[in-house]
Every structure is written in C-alpha cells, then in structure tokens.
Structure 1
Amino acid sequence: MAGHITPCFWFASEAEAAARHYVGIFDDAALGHVSRYGADMPVAEGTVLFAQFTLRGQPYMALNTGRPIAFNEGISLSVDCATQAEIDHHWDALLADGGAPVQCGWLTDRFGVSWQIVPRMMDEWMRTGTAGQVARLMAAMMDMVKLDIAALQRAFEGE
C-alpha cells in the first residue's frame, strides 16, 4: 500500500510559527502533532523539532534544524482559487508581516516559501484555449503581479 508524499519545510527555528501561520490562512487546514527536542539533542531542549499540519487535505511537515537553510523559487506551492476574493485573501495573508510579491501570481512569504496564487479556471483556459487565446492570456498574466481574474478572462476572450 502506498503512503503519503509529505513535503517537509526546513527552518532554523520558525517551524511552529510557519505551520500556525499557514493553518490560519486556509479554511480546510489543521495543525497536527508538534514534537519537541529533548535533552542531549543538537538544539535546545523544548524547542520545536517538527510540526505536522494539513492544508486542503495535503499533509506537510515543518522541521526546525537550528541552522538556516534558504528556500528559493525553484519549488513553490500553487493555490487554485475559485474567486477574486479568494485570490485577494490568500495573497494578502501570505504577504503579511514581511512577504514579497514577485510576478504572475507568485509571491514569497515572510518565511521565504514561494507560492503561486492562481485562478482555478487558469488550467481550463490553458487546456482548452486556442493558440491565440493562450497567447493573450499569458501576455496579460506577464504584466500582472497579483492575478486579476476579470482581466485574465477579458484577455482570453480577446476583449
């Protein structure tokens, strides 16, 4: 029987704060088990070792190692959003307290994790659109930072 594939985020000391932050953003999210370092371990006793959490049913783990390892945009978490209000909510919450917008719906949160906040219909547009529709869609997206569903729809439709 196959098990889960669980992404693990490696932090110096922010594992629990990150897990709690992410769980607070998403509706279908929960903080799971939080484990702590014990005596005679490489990080101070009582410090969070790992925090398990789920976002939209996907399990994750956040691990404190005691030494900083930088995240980069080579991997990101993509959040599909049904409405502009959902895009706005996730965008603002993930940028809170030190995140940075990038381009084309991408941002980096305050912990350095890269996210893509995209309209749910983007996949359908990309799969079903003509070459011209997809080209207009991509051109519009390249000019945006936070994605605007209505503007993307107009570009796709050639308006």
Structure 2
Amino acid sequence: MNKNRICLWYDGAALDAAQFYAATFPDSTVDAVHHAPVDYPAGKEGDVLTVEFTVMGIPCLGLNGGALFPHSEAFSFQVATDDQAETDRLWNAIIDNGGQASACGWCKDKWGLSWQITPRVLSNAIANPDRAAAKRAFEAMMQMSKIDIATIEAAVKG
C-alpha cells in the first residue's frame, strides 16, 4: 500500500471508472479490486467496495460509497498534453464516453470527475514574460471549451 494516494468516492462505479482511466491514459492501471465482506450502507456483501488504480502514475483508491458525496470541480486531474492530437484524443475519449465539456480545457467524465486537458503550449503562453502575449493567450483560452493550440499560438504572436 502506498503511504499516500488519492481517494475518489463513486456511486457504485469505481471499477468502471478505473477501467476507463486505465484504457485511456498512459501509465494507468487497475491494480486491485476488493469486495465488501458484509452489507454496508451503499451496497451488499460481495459488491465491489474499493478499487486500487493508478492514473498517469498517481496512485488512487476508488471507493463505492454511494450517492452521498458527488464529485465537484474542487478536485480535478490536470493533464499536460504535448500536441493537438493528444489533446483531442484525451478530450474526445472523456466526452465521447458520456462526459461533458466545460470551459477553458475543463471537462467532466461520466462519473462527474473533472479533468483539465491542458496543452503545455497554453501553460507556457499564460506564463510568458511578455505580459501582452500572455494576456492575448489567456483571452483566447477564455473563449474555448477544448483548447486549440493553433489559436493559442496565434494569440501569442499577436
């Protein structure tokens, strides 16, 4: 067991979510599935209680705790992408699997977990020491749902 890991609360779908993450993101795996030894408030004996999984090298535990605590934007995975193809592939995988688009590179998967699919070009543009270029990149981003790298690069150039 890892000394520290992220615990994510699901309403009965921890295994489905972990399997999707493992199939979608590099360096991601489903590591172990544990079943409830007895009935509990959100399930029955033998149901999947917890799932140990890794998302892009980050150890996680999915807990099937019921509907009491839904995910919110207060927690998100931020994924740094290297090009438009990777940005599109990850964004589309989340959206096409029942997810929901949001603004500025944010989206939610079908279980309500938030993701930021953030091209490195965008992060670098916003941190540009040329404040006018950074402002133009930021303003361009604010108009987007999925990030378009070519538009960010054009905004930086002015």
TM-score (norm 2): 0.91
Q: 1:87 and 1:18 mapped to 2: Cα distance?
A: 20
Cα separation, partners in 2 of 1:97 and 1:68, compared to 1, 3 Å: farther
The 3-state SS of whatever aligns with 2:127 is: helix
- Which residue of structure 2 aligns with residue 33 of structure 1? 32
Q: 1:93 and 1:139 mapped to 2: Cα distance?
A: 26
- Which residue of structure 2 aligns with residue 125 of structure 1? 125
CA drift of 1:124 comes to 2.5
What's the % identity of the aligned pairs? 35
Q: How does 1:6-85 map to 2 (within 5 A)?
A: 6-42=5-41, 43-85=43-85
- Which residue of structure 2 aligns with residue 135 of structure 1? 135
RMSD, aligned CA: 1.5
CA drift of 1:78 comes to 0.5
The 3-state SS of whatever aligns with 1:5 is: coil
Q: What do the CA deviations read for 1:67-89 (whole angstroms, capped 9, x no partner)? A: 44211112211110001000001
- Which residue of structure 2 aligns with residue 100 of structure 1? 100
The 3-state SS of whatever aligns with 2:12 is: coil
TM-score (norm 1): 0.91
Cα separation, partners in 2 of 1:68 and 1:41, compared to 1, 3 Å: closer
CA drift of 1:4 comes to 4.5
Q: How does 1:139-158 map to 2 (within 5 A)?
A: 139-158=139-158
Matched AA of 1:135: K
- Report how many aligned residue pairs link the two structures: 156
Q: How does 1:105-116 map to 2 (within 5 A)?
A: 105-116=105-116
8 Å CA contact retained: 1:32, 1:53: yes
8 Å CA contact retained: 1:81, 1:118: yes
Gaps of 5+ in 2: none
